[in-house]
């Protein structure tokens, strides 16, 4: 926890539920008040559609996303091109804290900036 950002326990519980019980297909995590929390979760979308929906949500500048793609769990940091460098640095330096708490990620990608980047992600 180099950045001082802690991971809310709900993140771990919901990730494990996604991984084991298949309660959802994706989870979006954001940092609020020095804590990584769940922004939203769902189950009816493709990875491309998920990233497009994040692109269209102006409130999300940066986020972490886990996506269960046919029993392979993908993890990536989303950072919109227009996000400020401070937010990007905070998310980049806090990523390992989250990854240490959620075990079972199969595919790790650094940064996705838009839905167009997803084609390279698969």
Task: Let me know if residue 29 belongs to a domain.
Answer: yes
Contact (CB, 8 A) for 61 and 87: yes
Structural domain span for residue 98: 6-115
Task: Let me know if residue 34 belongs to a domain.
Answer: yes
Task: Let me know if residue 120 belongs to a domain.
Answer: no
- Whether residue 118 is predicted with pLDDT greater than 70 in this model: the reply is no
Task: Let me know if residue 86 belongs to a domain.
Answer: yes
CATH code (residue 38)? 3.40.20.10
Q: CB-based burial of residue 83 (10 Å sphere; 0-12 exposed, 13-18 middle, 19+ buried)?
A: middle
Task: Let me know if residue 16 belongs to a domain.
Answer: yes
Q: Indicate the number of domains in the chain.
A: 1
Digit-coded pLDDT (tens) for 58-117: 899 999 999 998 779 999 999 988 999 999 999 999 999 999 999 999 998 888 777 667
Question: Structure pTM?
Answer: 0.91
Q: CB-based burial of residue 94 (10 Å sphere; 0-12 exposed, 13-18 middle, 19+ buried)?
A: buried
Digit-coded pLDDT (tens) for 2-44: 678 999 999 999 999 999 999 999 999 999 999 999 999 998 7
Task: Let me know if residue 122 belongs to a domain.
Answer: no
Task: Let me know if residue 14 belongs to a domain.
Answer: yes
Question: Can you tell me the distance from the alpha carbon of 95 to that of 101, in angstroms, rounded to the nearest whole number?
Answer: 10
């Amino acid at each position: 926890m180099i950045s001082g950002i802690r991971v809310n326990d709900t993140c771990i519980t919901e990730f494990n539920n996604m991984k084991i019980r298949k309660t959802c297909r994706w989870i979006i995590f954001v940092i609020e008040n020095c804590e990584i929390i769940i922004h939203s979760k769902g189950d009816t979308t493709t990875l491309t559609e998920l990233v497009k929906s994040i692109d269209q949500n102006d409130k999300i500048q940066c986020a972490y996303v886990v996506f269960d793609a046919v029993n392979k769990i993908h993890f990536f940091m989303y950072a919109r091109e227009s996000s400020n460098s401070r937010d990007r640095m905070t998310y980049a330096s806090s990523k390992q804290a989250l990854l240490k708490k959620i075990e079972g990620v199969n595919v790790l990608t650094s940064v996705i900036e838009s839905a167009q980047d997803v084609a390279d992600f698969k």
